Structure 1
Amino acid sequence: MAQNSTDMAQILPILQNLMANLLSPDNNTRSNAEKTLNLEWSIAQPNSLLLGLAYTMNESPDPSSRGFAAVLLRRVSLKENFGVAEIADAPEGTVWSRVTADTRTQVKSMLLSSLERESDNGARNKVCDTISEVANVEDAWPELLQALFVSSTSGLPALRESAFRIFTGCPQLLVDQNPQSVKDAFIVAFQDSSNNVRLAALKAAVQFLMIAEGTSRSKLDSMIPQMLSVLEPLLINKDEQGLVDSLSALTELAEIYPKAFRPVLPNLLEFGAQVSSNEQMEDSTRQIALEILVTLAEAAPGMCRKQAQFCDKLVHIALSMMANLEDDQDWYIVETLEEEENDDTSVFGEQVMDRLACSLGGKQLLPVAFQLIPTMLSSQEWQKRHAALMAVSAIGEGCFKLMKGELENVLNLVCPYFRDPHPRVRHAACNTIGQLSTDFSPTIQEKYHSIVLQNLIPAMDDEQFPRVQAHAAAAMVNFSEEARKKIIEPYLDTLFERLMNLLTSNKRYVQEQAITTIATVADSAQDLFRKHYSAIVPQLLSVLENASGKEYRLLRGKAIECVTFIALAVGYDVFKADSVKLIELLVRTQSQVVDDDDPQISYLLAAWARLCKVMGQDFLPYLPTVMPPLLKSASLQPDFAVLDADEDASLKYSAEDGWEFATISGQQIGIRTSVLEEKCTAVEMLICYARELGAGFEPYSKQVLELVLPLLKFYFHEGVKFASTAAISPILESMKSSVVLESANTNNPNLSSTPGTKSYEFVNAWTNICNTLLKAIVNEIDDVSFISQLYSSFADCVEVVGDHCLNDEQLKKFSEAVNLILSKSLEQIDSRIKQYNSGEVDEEEARVIGEDEIAESEAMDSVAKAIRLVLKTNTSSFMAYFDQLIPNLVMFANPELGKHDCYALQWFLCVFDDFVELTGPSSWTYSQYFLPAMVQALNLNNKPDERQAAAFGVGICAQYGGAVYAPAVGQAIPSIAAIINDPESLSEENIYATENAVSALVKILIYNQSSLPNFDEVMSLWFSGLPVLYDEDEAGTCYNYLYQILLNNETLLKLLQSYNQQYINHVIPAKYNDKVNPTNLQYLSTITNGLGLLHLVNVLVDVLVQGVLEADLATKLASSLQSVLQSCSDEAKAALWQSIDNEKQQSLQLLGYA
């Protein structure tokens, strides 16, 4: 029913008064008005509200009132949550969906009327935005489309602009229109006499291209050149805001549809370079002009690499921006580093270098960058030296492969600038070394620790410039995180002295950084830090006891972190004396935390977990103190904000408070990420408690499971999802430990079906976990990294629960989930092969594709792990479901898939290696599917990882397959011999395949002895293939067998004699010709079995020095070695001893074996 005019006359004054109050500067007035709007209008009389706003939008004499009415109409119409949760019968759905059809018709009519009549630009734009929003939710509005077509050809520029503004907000209006007609209309608009119309048309075209599909998009993308024609007039007229708006819109399109820019890339490159290098223009204009090019580089790197001068121009511009720094005195006198405002242009240039390195790759970027960087480093201007160092820091990750080979030269280039006359250049040198220490770990720590630390440690003495001191200490964190204690040891005392000195600084940020660095150094030094314990821990406890006040919260937090890292490093025996005092201080600190943003919260969460790890079961009494705040943090929910596109988010939601915004469907959607980091840390700590405390954690396990299981769908933060998934199996393990204790203390055989018992709760928990994980696996099929975590967690849980853990329904769901990912992976492999076969994949694109494949292969490894554990625990019941996997599984053995370094065959072989091991001789029924592929994969033409999986599989067939496999195993021996005797058998890439081949032979010797006609020959081949030093699992099997031979003198002599003859007759590789002094080698070849003894001694020495064997077996082998040597002459002993290199001789002596 139409609104009565009398009613409207009564409503309008009240509504206009409400609108005035909504704009009031007084918070109370505005808050009450918002409540009135929600309760008395949106809920109580929505029809009157919308019609009143629409009437005001049309009839008010004040343009600001008309505009505000349009804004309110938009906001109210589409609003669902009115902040009235206390009302039990609050209506559902939007106001627009709840008003009558007649009201909607009247409102739409008045919107079109206002569009036609509105004379004020600001008000009309607001009307257009409201029309777009309403059109997005309306199924049919034919009058709108007709009105827009009329407006787009109107003689009034304002109406033409409005039409395209509405198309921008609701591009779906054009989806069903003739593509050619749409294109023609846009092309006319791009040439419009009005600048505003051209810009509006450009934005609309971008939005439409982003949603267009198939033939529509292909027909429309030919108008890209005409779209770019909008830019030049803006530049000529110095309309920088127009440039920013248009380039921002085009950047959106470049990210989604980069290939459309291929024909215009040369022109766009020139234009972007011209604008971004013009220092007379605003920073925002320059940055967006460069941003669109960098976005294209990220979205279509191959296309950009092929564009002449693309990389060269962008690197020049980025480096120039990075040198755009002022020597601001505030940089030197800040009291807290958070006060520093980043120089936007310089930081943006640095980010560009990082993004270009990651997208274009080192092969293209590195030559350009290092053509400029040395020149900049030698400049008299400190800004250029600073920019050059920061550029090295920025490109390391993206240029990793090439820079790794030149790392020594890079360090020699950077390190002299630790002594630069300008402090900000020295600061940049610290930054660069810190970043390189992260990007190139552990290489930089292992090979170049001397050059790094000889420069970095003295930088902490720069007392005149505390910023440099602090940054040097921060870089030390990066270095120490990946440094073994042997690397840290020679520098520890000097480093600790410097860091203790920093604690006396009058700058709190220096003290804070020194404490953080001490924590990291202690973590790396481990027990070596014991000698410094008494010097630092009392000071840290003093900070916690005496440093009160809000300004010291971060310092206290870092002290908490440091003292608990030290406790972990030195061990409970050293720390125990201070443990009670520290815990008292932590409890006191925890009780004093009242603000949600207190930085001590996150430090406390992690510190308690470290103490748990140090103290083990002694920590249990403190769990009731720790768990409530931990569970509170783990239960935090993200804060959200939804703002209009034209609202300034920074006014209410600052980045410093952790707010991040993204524009979605014309609105700014904000989320407070700092809360999520705390939540993630809390969940990670729960993992630690469950793992360390076992049954002691069980009282909390049910509550924690109820918390973490729903977080598998927590899409706001990947870390929370991953940590929650990883937490499940340790929690389940803690419950099982409690079940074991319960079972040991009762005779009730029906515990699992008795409500209230630990066993009953455990069974219910596993049922819930199993169903949740299987559902998540199906739902997350497109998220490769998370799928990997889900399958791994599922496998771990299956292992915890044990035999018969899955019923038929669960086995069915599991097999369906596995088949789903098998199909998905085969599709991905096929897609990659097609990319390669297209001939359009360059080296960098191949690298990116390879990285995707690595991620996928890691996920598939988790799938294989899950298949193995399900098969192990449910062998007989799973077989019928395993049969359903066969059609997809055998596709992974297709030789065509291996042509582009695909993981498929290796993964396939690993699955069936496990299958044979777990099902034994009955697996022969399935041998037709895998055995031919396994034997074929032993060929040297196959990849090393495929040969490794195949060789391991042959050994498994020998060990577990029984007599039925013996003929096939015997036929594989020549191929295994080829692997062992290959001249490249001991190379880094081949060593694991070789060692698995050697191990396969020993399993054949042990388990298939009766079926080997050439037993002695196979044993000699095996012996010649030793040592096995890197695959620890296989080493145990090989050396246990060798020890048995050492106990049997007759077999040993036969083996040594055979080796001797084969070596002399060149049947086996002459591996000692280049390793042993020729005189000694000649002598040993003349004594009985001398070369066999030489090999035996070196095999035993190598494995003893490598330390891969269990202590008992190592001791037995060492004793046998001594016995063998006792039977030799002194001259033979001397020759054998001299065949061992000096380093190994020293190791034998240190180990007590010589």
Structure 2
Amino acid sequence: MAAVSITTMIESLQSGDNDVRKKAEASFAAALESAPAQVVRSMLEAMASHPDESTRLAAAVFMLQPLETWPRLDEDTRQMVLRVFADRTLNEPVFAVRRRVVNSCMHVARVTSAWPGVVEGAIGALPTASPEHKESLLTLVSRIAEARPEWVIPQAAALAAPAAACLATGNPAPVRAAAAGCISRVASRLEDPAAIAGYSAALGPILTATREMASEGAESECREVLSDLTSAIGGMNARLLLKSCAATVVGGAESIAATDSFSDEVRTEAIQVFITACQLAGPQVRSASLHGSLITLCLRLMSRVPEDGVMVPSAFAALPYAPEQLSTSMRDIASLADVAEDALDRVASSFGASLVLTPAMAAISSLVTGSQPWNVRRAAVVAIAVLVNACGRPSAAQGGAGAGGAHAAKGRGQGGFTREQRAAVLAMLVKALSADPDPRVRYEAARSLGRYAEALCDQHTPSARTACREMCSPGGAMTALAAACKPTAGHPLVVCGAAAEAIKHCLSSACPHEAAVERMPELMAALQPLLGTPSASVTAQALETVAAVAAATGDEFSAYYAPLIGPIRSIASSSTVIGTGAEAARVRAAAMVCLGSLVESVSPEEFKADAAATLGPIFEAITAASSGDPAAAAAAGSAGTAPAPASGSAMQLGQAALTAVGRIGSHLGPDFAPFLGPIVPPLLAAASVNVDFSASQAEDEVHPSSGDGKSVVVSLSGVGNVRFQMNTDAVTEKQEALSSLLDLCVSCGAAVGPFAPQIVAVLMAQVSEKFNGVCRALASSALAPCIKAAVEYAQGQGATEAAAVASVAPMLLASITAVAQQARQEVTTDGAPLQMAEALKDLVVVSLVGARDEVHLFTKADTPVLALPKEVVEECVLGSCSAAGMAAERIRVKREDIEHHGHTDAHAIVMMREDLKDEETILRHSIDALGYVIKSARAGVLASFALQAEPVLGPRLVDASNAVLHHAALCSFVDVCEWCGEHAARYVPELTKALGKGMVGEDEDVRQVSCYGVGALAESQPAAIAPLTSVAIPALLSVINRPDARSEENEFATDNAVSALAKLLRHCSEAVGADAPRLWTAWVKALPIRSDETEAFYCHALLAEQVEKGNPFILGEGGSNLPDIVRVCGEVFASAAAASGDGAGSAEASAGEDDEDDEEEEPITMASTETVTSMVGLVRGVAAKLPAAALATMVASMPENVRAALAMATAK
């Protein structure tokens, strides 16, 4: 390509004419494709020798795309690239061009494996270069350090002195900034302790140079230097880098941050250096108490609120009880104060309560007194809230994951606070709220009490519950907040609103129900007057808090239903207008949510009279949010199309209305049926609303865009900066609509049936929604209950179960396929993978048992209600195995992360463990889904199983190092061997080995499935399992006879061991041989089965059958097992009585009634009606043959509820 043509090409590529530029881009791309070397050489010639500097600069810019053809370039052209770039870095006379060349050098370094001499040459030229060239050379080394640190690290020692010399006073600010950036970038990549020590010495001079540059007004250079320094000291060897200079770095950064004459932007960057050094310097910072300096600085900067920077909206300025001159801004606080607040949060989180609280509380207690200016007192109050939040989180300093630490110290309660500190915190905040003369301080005191309550809510620990009880106790913080809800002269409404909002946080799940009920009259007396204020914001806060009171007190709130339902409905319906525009919308939205809480406090019967009037405005809001035209909204919902989103205010109202509909519908259940007709179409329209996603070229990295949407700009390789924009309000509306649909499908049952085809069509479209995992999760979760509702409706119309399921078969099979296809590509971390796996399982269950909730009783003798076609089976296996495989990999990675971070970041460990628990749940649901497909398709699944499941689960069958993954593999291989019988015989040898080890393993879940697997194989492939009996029986007995066999964590394994023992005795009797009498007796004594309902049905039916047949091994020699047989029958009778409400439950349930902290699971049904009937006959037969005294002696030692059940069963 000739020089003249490349010049023309460059000019065209920069053309402002869109058509010319696009044509040039196409020609350029075609030339690169056909003759890349020629294009590269032409560009290099233009960059090196063209007389016009703008053309040389453009050539340097446009060289980035040709560099991507590096693998196709010949060696001579590659060497020319290296040679020209190195030459231009040193010899280009125009600084702007040279800077562009230097920046492009990073891309050159990335594509080539070697660039001999470039780093050495740049370092060698530094001492004698002109100032402009020094900047370019230092920037070059920095760029290459980013792209190829291995080229720079060997030259680090040679670079240190000349780079440090460029920091000296007298060098221009750009040179000093480039030197600081170069030193920081190289230092962050060093690993050798000696080299790191050499660079540590330069950190102090960097901060000195930065301070001097700030004094000279070189603001942009200062910000860049401090940002680079933060990155450097935050690198992988931070502690080593700061070992000898932590105090210097912290002191230098503090000096810059504390200088009022410097700009807030520079001081903000200095705080980042300060806090990062404090977090990472380890013992040096702690031993020198440098974090104390940071706390002092943060408190000082948090006081930087100007006199007119009040947190009170202008709407309150004219009210008679607000005499102060109040600001027109809701939160006009200097940004540096917010930065300091964030810094205090970070240092408290990092160092933990034991190091931070004592110096911080000492400083705060002296600032909160009335003698200090209002802004200082306000900063102290805010700081308390920050410390409460931060010190409530685990930190490395506190210990955590395996490290013990200060959080376990005697006397420490919530978040590392001692009881004395907690009392002091509450006392200071309550005093500030109740007695401070300035409403701006009282406002922050109310908000800080709310943040304190939020911190308690997040912890769910005994000490947090104790702390919450203290807040809710008579005369406690909640009493002060209730008093602060009453406006007076000098106590503006905005403070009342903040107090109301704080009460809402106090009434979180951490607040005991009885405490909320006790405080309810006091709170409602304070809140009800706020519902009629002229302030939209305060009214909304009061409504939200009334809703929280209702939620916290439950049925006890019903006394307020009658006086409140009318006024709140009036606010919700806009007949009482408070505020304008967005403010008025917020009030109506809060009223709608409050209506939902009100309705939940009374019975459906009591609400019926108010239902139509209450739901009317809610329906209207949903329709208006879905479309400006109600008819269009209904049509869009029915057609499954995506209507355009409404305005922001209408959408806010719609979201609240959707929430209210979901809650009211769930509460009313089938009684909501009359309202489904008018609400389903707008719900479907809201669920289908267009989120207005767009992607467009962006010239630079910009702010979020205006309007209802939000945008982000990202850099894409080969594309440049792209702005992605989405209407997040529309996304929220979709989520609320889908959530309400899910609630209605679950709670309204058969009443949803007539609407199922339209609902399923919308849900299926949202299962693959591209932009939001929550929408996909909700849509997939709603499919199974919606289709079940359709089955129930058809059965209610007289159809048989088979006919009812057949009527929904097309949408059921389509739903299974859609969810399975999405499950295999669902990799987001927002809950979608978990819900997708569970939804797939639930849909397959509908194909097995229709609308019945008895899938656990489905046996090989049963036939699926709907046979799954081969292609659907394949999709299910692929989807479930893909989801399981991705979850398994994430589990492996997260476990490694936990082991790696185990002693350094306890807060991160807590988060990782929560994520790990979610991944394990995803795996379990995926394996369950696969299991139900196996139960449905049986031998028809084997081809897909071999193709999809074996590669994922096969290695985990033999590798027991990760119990969760090993358990998953055992479950699937047991299922396939059990349900596919001899067709799956090739898996049995490896499976039996794994089962033998698993029965005696440490993990209770592995023991459970191993015991179950032995029983399953005894039934389905007795010849294959028979050789294992000599190993299996002792292992099963060891599980049954463990001292903790009936503990909560082991009971399922014990139940399955008992059942497996019976199946071996029954189906492998020859292998058992002479031990049968002893083992049958052991089996009878181990009964009943208390936790696993499937095995309970099997074992208790077997017991009744064998006793009826007179099996001598069951009865025991001379009837010696009869007392145990009668005892088991008595427990089964007691279970049946508890289930029907005719008598007491199990002994364990009765004993645990007084433990209010234990959540008891509902006891299982131990036997079918037929088995209970057989047992009644057996017990009556025994009673008829025994003297009354002998029978009384037999049952005397049994629990009272069992004796009562036996007496009832044997009564004539």
Return the offset for 1:516: 1.3
Aligned twin of 2:478? 457
Distance 1:205 1:1100, change over 3 A: closer
Q: Which moved more, 1:1102-1111 or 1:406-415?
A: 1102-1111
Query: Aligned residue for 2:177?
Result: 199
Change over 3 Å in CA distance of 1:964–1:588 after alignment to 2: closer
Q: Secondary structure at the match of 1:237?
A: helix
Q: Residue type of the partner of 1:513?
A: Q
Given the alignment of the two structures, is residue 232 of structure 1 paired with residue 215 of structure 2, yes or no? Answer: no
Change (3 A) 1:796 1:535: same
Contact 1:541–1:582 (CA under 8 A) maintained in structure 2: yes
Cα 1:874–1:835 shift into 2, 3 Å: same
Aligned to 2:927: 864
1:450–1:811 distance in 2 versus 1, CA, 3 Å: same
Aligned to 1:367: 354
Q: Which residue of 2 aligns with 1:261?
A: 238
Residue 115 to residue 629, structure 1, CA distance change in 2 (3 Å): farther
* CA deviation vs aligned residue, 1:369-409 (integer Å, no higher than 9, x gap): 34445545654534446524430222323359675994365
Q: Deviation at 1:886?
A: 4.3
Distance in 1 (CA, whole Å) between partners of 2:1104 and 2:782 is: 39
Which SS does the other structure have where 1:546 is aligned?
A: coil
> How far has the Cα of 1:792 moved from its partner?
3.8
Q: 1:552 aligns with which of 559, 566, 584?
A: 584
Task: Give the AA of the match of 1:482.
Answer: S
Amino acid aligned to 2:228 = A
**Distance (Å, rounded) in 1 between the aligned partners of 2:89 and 2:1030:** 89
Which of 678, 696, 699 pairs up with 1:622? 678
Q: 2:536 aligns with which of 504, 508, 532?
A: 508
Structure 2 residue 459 is the aligned partner of structure 1 residue 440: yes
Pairwise mapping of residues 710-859 of structure 1 onto structure 2 (< 5 A)? 710-711=769-770, 714=771, 720-728=772-780, 730-731=782-783, 734=786, 767=817, 770-774=820-824, 776-777=825-826, 780=827, 787-800=833-846, 805=868, 807=870, 811=874, 814=877, 818=881, 822=885, 825=888, 829=892, 853-859=916-922
Q: Specify which structure has the bigger relative contact order, considering alpha-carbon pairs within 8 angstroms and separated by 6 or more residues.
A: 2
Q: Distance in 1 between matches of 2:244 and 2:367?
A: 35
Cα–Cα, structure 1 residues 607 and 172, in superposed 2: closer, same or farther, change >3 Å? same
The structure 2 residue matched to 1:897, chosen from 961, 966, 973, is 961
Normalised by the length of structure 1, the TM-score is: 0.69
TM superposition shift of 1:420: 1.7
Deviations 1:34-76 (CA, angstroms, capped at 9, x unpaired): xx94547645889999x9xx99xx999xxxxx99x99999999
Whether the aligned pair in 2 keeps the contact of 1:457 and 1:472 (CA below 8 Å) is no
1:90 matched residue in structure 2: none
CA change 1:388–1:1131 in 2 (3 A) is farther
Are 2:57 and 2:97, in contact at CA under 8 Å, matched by a contact in 1? no
Q: Is the 8 A contact 1:605 1:685 kept in 2?
A: yes
CA gap of 1:950–1:482, structure 2 versus 1, over 3 A, is farther
Correspondence for 1:1085: none
* CA 760–991 in structure 1, closer or farther in 2 if over 3 Å, else same: closer
Distance verdict in 2 for CA 1:688–1:819, change over 3 Å:
closer
Stretch moving more, 689-698 or 143-152: 143-152
Cα drift, residue 552 of structure 1? 1.3
User: What is the CA distance between 1:559 and its match in structure 2?
Assistant: 0.9
**1:942 aligns to 2:1002 (yes or no):** yes
- Shift of residue 682 of structure 1? 0.9
Q: What amino acid is the match of 1:818?
A: C
One-letter amino acid matched to 1:392: V
- 1:32 is aligned to none
TM-superposed CA distance for 1:528, in Å, is 3.9
Change (3 A) 1:840 1:1107: closer
Aligned partner of residue 545 in structure 1, secondary structure: coil
Query: What letter matches 1:191 in structure 2?
Result: A
Query: Partner of 1:482: helix, strand, or coil?
Result: coil
Matched position secondary structure for 1:288: helix
Asked if 1:576 is matched to 2:632, the reply is no
* Aligned pairs for 1:218-229 within 5 A: 225=200, 228=203
1:724 CA drift (Å): 1.1
Alpha-carbon RMSD across the aligned residues, in angstroms, is 6.5
Partner letter of residue 431 of structure 2? D
1:461 Cα shift? 1.6
Deviation (angstroms), 1:161: 2.1
- Post-superposition Cα deviations, 1:306-339, rounded to whole Å, max 9, x if no partner, equal 7662896447624751564437675464468982
Distance change >3 Å, CA 825–CA 512, structure 1 → 2: same
Q: Structure 2 vs 1, CA of residues 431 and 936 (structure 1 numbering), >3 Å: closer, same or farther?
A: same
Aligned-partner SS, 2:698: strand
Find the counterpart in structure 1 of residue 755 from structure 2: 696
Q: Give the equivalent residue in structure 2 for 1:602.
A: 655
Asked if 1:291 is matched to 2:272, the reply is yes
Contact (CA 8 Å) 1:433, 1:452: kept in 2 or not? Answer: no
Counterpart in 2 of 1:474? 501
Q: Which one-letter code corresponds to 1:582 in the other structure? A: T
CA spacing shift, 1:964–1:644, aligned 2, 3 Å: closer
Q: Which residue of 1 aligns with 2:132?
A: 158
Q: Name the stretch that deviates more: 789-798 or 998-1007.
A: 998-1007
Superposition map of 1:305-316 within 5 A: 309=286, 313-314=290-291
Return closer, same or farther for 1:787/1:925 CA change in 2, 3 Å cut-off: same
Q: CA deviation at 1:534?
A: 1.5
Question: Which one of 413, 424, 430 corresponds to residue 407 of structure 1?
Answer: 413
Partner of 2:969: 908
Do the aligned partners of residues 686 and 826 (structure 1) sit closer, same or farther apart at CA in structure 2, a change above 3 Å counting?
closer
Q: Which runs of 5+ in 2 are unaligned?
A: 29-42, 66-76, 317-328, 369-376, 401-405, 437-441, 629-645, 747-751, 849-865, 1126-1143, 1155-1159, 1204-1212
Map of 1:685 onto structure 2 = 737
In the other structure, the counterpart of 2:691 is 635
**Per the alignment, do residues 935 and 307 of structure 1 end up closer, same or farther by CA in structure 2, a change over 3 Å counting?**
farther
Note the C-alpha offset of 1:554.
0.8
Cα 1:236–1:174 shift into 2, 3 Å: same
Question: Unaligned 5+ residue runs, structure 1?
Answer: 20-35, 61-65, 80-100, 715-719, 1063-1094, 1146-1154
Distance 1:494 1:1097 in 2: 42
In structure 2, do the counterparts of structure 1 residues 553 and 852 end up closer, same or farther at CA, with 3 Å as the change threshold?
Answer: closer
Aligned partner letter, 1:936: K
C-alpha displacement of 1:879? 1.8
**Alignment correspondent of 1:539:** 567
Q: Secondary structure, in 3 states, of the residue corresponding to 2:242? A: helix
Given the alignment of the two structures, is residue 1108 of structure 1 paired with residue 1162 of structure 2, yes or no?
Answer: yes
How far, CA to CA, are the matches of 2:1054 and 2:466 in structure 1? Answer: 28
CA offset at residue 661 of structure 1? 6.4
CA change 1:539–1:247 in 2 (3 A) is: same
Task: Map Cα deviations across residues 185-235 of structure 1 (whole Å, 9 max, x no partner).
Answer: 68634532534224225546777999x9xx999999898547746623324
CA deviations 1:1094-1141 (Å, max 9, x no partner) are x998468559996723689799899999999x978999999989x989
Task: Give TM-score scaled by structure 2 length.
Answer: 0.67
CA-CA distance at 1:907 after TM superposition: 3.4
Give, in whole Å, the separation in 1 of the partners of 2:1178 and 2:362. 61
Aligned partners of 1:224, 1:1136: CA distance in 2, in Å? Answer: 80
Residue in structure 2 matched with residue 591 of structure 1 by the alignment = 624
| Counterpart in the other structure of 1:188 | 162
Q: How does 1:1097-1136 map to 2 (within 5 A)?
A: 1098=1147, 1101-1102=1150-1151, 1108-1109=1162-1163
**Of 359, 382, 390, which aligns to 1:394?**
390
Distance change (3 Å), C-alpha of 1:177 and 1:573: same
What SS does the corresponding residue of 1:457 show, helix, strand or coil?
A: helix
The CA distance in 2 between the partners of 1:569 and 1:911, in whole Å, is: 45
2:298 to 310, 321, 328: 321
Taking the aligned partners of 1:1000 and 1:465, their CA distance within structure 2 comes to 72
Counting aligned pairs with the same residue, the percent is 16
